Structure formats: structure tokens, C-alpha cells
Structure 1
Amino acid sequence: MAVGQILEEDDGVEEPGVPRLRLAVLTSDKGWPYSWEEDVSIRDCHVNCEVERVWQIVKGNVNKWFDTHRGTYFAPKRRVLIGTPGMGKSVAAGSYLLYQLLHCDAEQLPMVAYFIGNRTFLFGKIAKTVSVYMGEASILRIVDGLPDRGFKGYIIYDVALACRQPAAGLPCKGWGMIVVTPPNKNNYYSWAKQTGAEEFIINCLEENNVKAMCAWIKRNQIPQKQAKYWKEVNGCTNKVGPILRFIFGKQASDDRINACQQAVDGMNALTFERYLYIGYC
């Protein structure tokens, strides 16, 4: 998929004889930062119209930032991307944002940082380097001095650890930042309030998006096996919803159903009231 190409949202209108593009796949031989944290190799980043919509929102603000005249101060918007746990926002939206930001003009945006877990990956686009920092304290000292040296940058902060908000010093002066998080306010609320961050939601996949993913995963199989695989995944989706972490295997789906049943059985008035205030998409 070429940089700048756009996956459009399905408006229900298709040109006769022209199938709508449902999915684009970005493949990295070294995997994506999300998989590095999980110590697994996830080479494919699946991009659908929702993932593209997230980038277009970020891109609009980044372009305004680039168009600001030299000497005029412009603070990029801070944003919080909220999505259902397990739906793929980290491995898809987080990775795609990184891909696109790394392909922005290096002179205009020379630095990109990706925070996940206890590690931060700092990409220097002009020198074409990537540095890895353990813990937030070390990277905070580094990025805090970059704006004074004229380096613009953008931070992707993936809340991979429960109830851990970004540090109060993020982002550094003049940098942009987006937090990728499930709908648990303990992960972002204080930081968002302090920085005036704008919240928005990434929606779960539609059926045709999941079907396209199945077609890609089984692209080297005969049609009969592709159809069987889609039937299995679709059955799991009907039971647990379009949550990628739980639909591409019967065991994962069954475990999810059992966990949900246990949560319902153990619910009391207090937990019921708490769940009323948790958003969903």
C-alpha cells in the first residue's frame, strides 16, 4: 500500500464491477513494536477503514503543524484513542500510525517515539537510527532536551500496562502525542485532563473486514479451506464479537466465553454500577 493511499469507509454504495478495497496489509520482516513487547513476531499490520480514519485525524493536525510559519508557536493536539481490549488497536492502529509518521518528511518531523510497556523506541529519521530505552525516566531526559535543539517529534504511547498513565512530563514542549488505550479511565484520565487531550473512539471491525483478514491469512490455501476457515472464524465472531484476540481459534473463543460467564456470575450491585460507566465501541 502506497503512502498517501486512503481506505474509504463503506457507505453502502459500490461501483458496479469494482470490488471495494476492504483491507491493506503492511508487512515488516522485523515485526512491529507491539509484537516486540510481547516477544512474538507479528509481521503483518492489517489496515482497514477505521485504522485509516485514525491516521487521517492525526494527519490533519500534523499537516497544520508543518504549515505553521517559522517563528510561530503551534502546539499539536494531544489525543487519546480508545478502543475495546483485544480488537487490534495496538497492533493495527499503533503500528500504522508509526508507519505513516516515519514516512512524513524527515526535515519537518525528524523524531518519532513509541512507548510500550517498559520500553521506548526512539526513531531518528534523519540519521535513520532507532534507540531503545528501558523505563520512562531515561527517555524523558532525552526527549526533554530535543525541542531546544530544534527537533520536532511525535509520541505514540501504547498503554500496554494496566492502570499506568503517561508521565506528567509527556509530551515534551512542542511535540505531538497520542495515547492508545482501552476504555479504562485509570489509563489516561489524569493525563488527558492535564494536557487537554481530545478523546476519540476506534470502532470494532465489520464482518467484511474480518472476512478480508481471513482471506489474507489463508491466501495460499485452496478455496474450500478458505471457506472452512471463514466459517469457523465467523462462528467465533458471532459468539464473542469482532475482537481479534479471541476469534482466530476455537480455544481462544471458548476461553473468552468462559471468562465472560464467570464475570457475569460473580457480578454484584457494586460491579454492575461500575460497568455502567465504562464505554464500549
Structure 2
Amino acid sequence: MGNKRSKSVLGGLWQRGMKGYIIYDVAKKGTPPDTDIAPCKGWGMIVVSSANLDNVNEWEKQSESLRIVMNCPEKDDAKAICVWMKHNWQLAEEEADHWKKVEVRMDNLGPLLRYVFDQSKYKSRLDSCESTVNKMTLPDTNYYSVLGTDKMCDGSHVSHKLVKVVRVRGNGDSELPLNALISSHLAELTLCKLAELMVPNYFNLLILAIKDDLISKALEDHSLFAFLSAPL
């Protein structure tokens, strides 16, 4: 349903005295809702989007909305889904084996539920992500300076296949958004590629900015941990 038709339907409901709440999913790049899509009174609205300024920036400014960053699903969430999907027809051993496969996919690809439960979708997405890393050029490295910061990304440069936004604890009880690499596997590939392309001093500064994230991804057993251990 397009914005124009949606406004007509919602306006009709409002005229009949109904109140409600709108959840608008920006499923496609560059398709934010119109700022006046919600009726004037009695209606609230949530716009769901990836961390892409192109999707919501203008709408956010004009609607005076509040930005809330949500973490991606955790492994416990995915494990619960595995149990729910398979518990009626699998033995406990088969359920455990299925979860082990999903867990490996999450480690490689990241917490993307639309891909990790299906082998063919997972393989296609992983190939696409690895291709994105392999095609990275020197000018692309400038846009990965957002890693380790709370700067919002626009969709034209930093690949959302490789970067996610997480909530971290700030001063006191405050929370801040932080750009992080999406998975251990893709973090290793991405940083190895950036190390090839970037001036060493700039790369070292990037590593310092994201070292806590790298440690949390348990990269100590990989060659990348040498970047953290080496003198800068």
C-alpha cells in the first residue's frame, strides 16, 4: 500500500473516531513515509529502518521524532526460534544439530534471521558479503572511519552487509549507538582488506577505535589479534 492510499485509509479511520498506532517498515531503500501520513490526533507512529540515513533522515527532521537504536537478535533469540520451529518433529539430537548449524551461520554472517535458518539463502548472502569485501577499493576505506563511532551511515557508501549498529553503555546510565563489524568472520575479512589498502597509521587508529568490539568477537585465535598486540 503506497503513502497516498495509506493516508486515505488512515484518514477515514480517524474521521470515524478510531485511534491507533502505525508501524511503518522502510523495507526498500529511500521509501520513508510522508511526514503527514498519521492523522493529527490520537495516533502514534513507529518507523522501522536499518541504520541508513537515506531511509529516515528527512522524515526524522520534519516529524521531530525520537531515534531509538535496537540491537540485532542475540544467539539466545535464534536458539529459541530453532526450538520453536523444529520441536514437533525432531529428536533432541536433531534439534541440537540444527542449532549448531545456525550458530555457525550467525558467526559467519551475523545476526540476520532472514538468512541463517535457510542454507541456500545463507550461502547466497555470505557469497555477496565476501564479494563486497573483495571488491573494496582505496576510496571505499574512507567510509569505514564510522566504525567505532556513533555516526549514522548513509546507504551509498558503507556496506550494511558488513556493519551493524549496537547499543553500548555511556557515561552514567546513558546509552549510545556504536557502529561495529557484523560478525567475526566478516570482521576478519574486512580488516585484512582494509590493512592492505589503508595507510598503516590510519589503519592502526581504526583498530584502536574498535578494539573492544574485536575482543568481544573472540578474534584472539585469529591472525587479526596480531593487530591488537603489535606496538602502534
> 5+ residue gaps in structure 2?
147-151, 154-163, 167-232
Matches within 5 A, 1:197-212: 197-212=65-80
Tell me if the contact between 1:158 and 1:180 (Cα under 8 Å) persists in the aligned partners. yes
SS in 2 for 1:198: coil
Aligned residue identity for 2:165:
Y
1:246 alignment counterpart: 115
Matches within 5 A, 1:68-217: 119=1, 135-144=2-11, 146-147=13-14, 149-174=16-41, 175-217=43-85
The alpha-carbon deviation at position 182 of structure 1 amounts to 0.8
Tell me if the contact between 1:159 and 1:165 (Cα under 8 Å) persists in the aligned partners. yes
Tell me if the contact between 2:6 and 2:37 (Cα under 8 Å) persists in the aligned partners. no
**2:135 is aligned with 1:272:** no
2:96 alignment counterpart: 227
Classify 1:145/1:257 alpha carbon distance in 2 versus 1 (closer, same or farther; 3 Å).
closer
Once the two structures are superposed, residues 134-155 of structure 1 have per-residue CA deviations (whole angstroms, 9 ceiling, x without a partner) of x221331343355455332221
Classify 1:204/1:168 alpha carbon distance in 2 versus 1 (closer, same or farther; 3 Å).
closer
CA distance in 2: counterparts of 1:168 and 1:193, whole angstroms: 9
Aligned residues: 148
Classify 1:264/1:139 alpha carbon distance in 2 versus 1 (closer, same or farther; 3 Å).
same
The alpha-carbon deviation at position 197 of structure 1 amounts to 0.6
CA distance in 1: counterparts of 2:106 and 2:141, whole angstroms: 25
| Greater relative contact order (Cα < 8 A, sep 6+) | 1
Q: Which TM-score applies when normalising by structure 2? A: 0.58
Aligned residue identity for 2:97:
K
> 5+ residue gaps in structure 1?
1-118, 120-134
2:227 alignment counterpart: none
Aligned residue identity for 1:187:
N
Once the two structures are superposed, residues 189-216 of structure 1 have per-residue CA deviations (whole angstroms, 9 ceiling, x without a partner) of 1011101111112212222222111111
Aligned residue identity for 1:199:
R
Tell me if the contact between 1:159 and 1:180 (Cα under 8 Å) persists in the aligned partners. yes
Aligned residue identity for 1:182:
S
CA distance in 1: counterparts of 2:75 and 2:85, whole angstroms: 15
Once the two structures are superposed, residues 234-255 of structure 1 have per-residue CA deviations (whole angstroms, 9 ceiling, x without a partner) of 1111111221122113322222
CA distance in 2: counterparts of 1:254 and 1:142, whole angstroms: 41
CA distance in 2: counterparts of 1:256 and 1:269, whole angstroms: 24
Q: Which TM-score applies when normalising by structure 1? A: 0.48
Q: CA RMSD in A?
A: 2.0
Aligned match of 1:260 in 129, 134, 149? 129
Classify 1:231/1:155 alpha carbon distance in 2 versus 1 (closer, same or farther; 3 Å).
same
Classify 1:138/1:241 alpha carbon distance in 2 versus 1 (closer, same or farther; 3 Å).
closer
CA distance in 2: counterparts of 1:201 and 1:161, whole angstroms: 19
Tell me if the contact between 1:246 and 1:252 (Cα under 8 Å) persists in the aligned partners. yes
1:14 alignment counterpart: none
CA distance in 2: counterparts of 1:249 and 1:142, whole angstroms: 37
SS in 2 for 1:280: strand
More helix by percentage: 2
